[in-house]
């Protein structure tokens, strides 16, 4: 694993911890930093990271708190409080 990949992973962990502690703004900062590092180093973000964050507002999504999750036609639909929706196959 490269240093940049480790950094993205660490920021992902920090974002999760901040989100779990209800520090939403801090979690967003970690999410943005992880995205920036990935962009700069042309890394693709892990799927768990993509699914755990909002594309529009960078929120760390917490179902039941700042996001709603429902199943529709074999897809998982996640709606962030900002109104953004993400769909992915149920697996
Ligand atoms: Zn959002």
Contacts of 88 (CB under 8 A, 6+ apart): 51, 75, 76
Asked if residue 6 has pLDDT above 90, the reply is yes
Predicted confidence at residue 90, as pLDDT, reads: 82
Residue 16 CA to ligand 1 centre (angstroms): 15
Starting at the earlier edge strand, list the strands of the sheet with 85-89: 67-72, 75-80, 85-89
Q: Kindly list the protein residues that place their beta carbon closer than 5 angstroms to ligand 1, a single-atom ion.
A: 54, 56-57, 59, 80, 82, 84
String of DSSP letters for 26-82: HHHHHHHHHHHHHHHTTPPPPHHHHHHB-TTT--B--BTTTEEEEEETTEEEEEETT
Asked if residue 91 has pLDDT above 80, the reply is no
Kindly report the pTM of this predicted structure: 0.91
Residue 58 CA to ligand 1 centre (angstroms): 6
Q: What is the pLDDT of residues 42-69, one digit of tens each?
A: 999 999 999 999 999 999 999 999 999 9
Q: Kindly list the domain boundaries of the chain, sorted by start residue.
A: 3-89
């Amino acid at each position: 694993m490269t240093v940049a990949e480790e950094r993205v992973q660490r920021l992902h962990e920090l974002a999760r911890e901040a989100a779990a502690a209800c520090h939403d703004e801090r979690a967003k900062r970690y999410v943005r930093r992880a995205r920036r590092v990935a962009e700069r180093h042309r890394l693709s973000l892990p799927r768990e990271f993509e699914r755990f964050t909002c594309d529009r507002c960078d929120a760390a999504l917490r179902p039941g708190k700042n996001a709603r999750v429902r199943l529709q036609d074999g897809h998982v639909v996640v709606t962030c409080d900002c109104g953004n929706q993400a769909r992915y196959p149920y697996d």
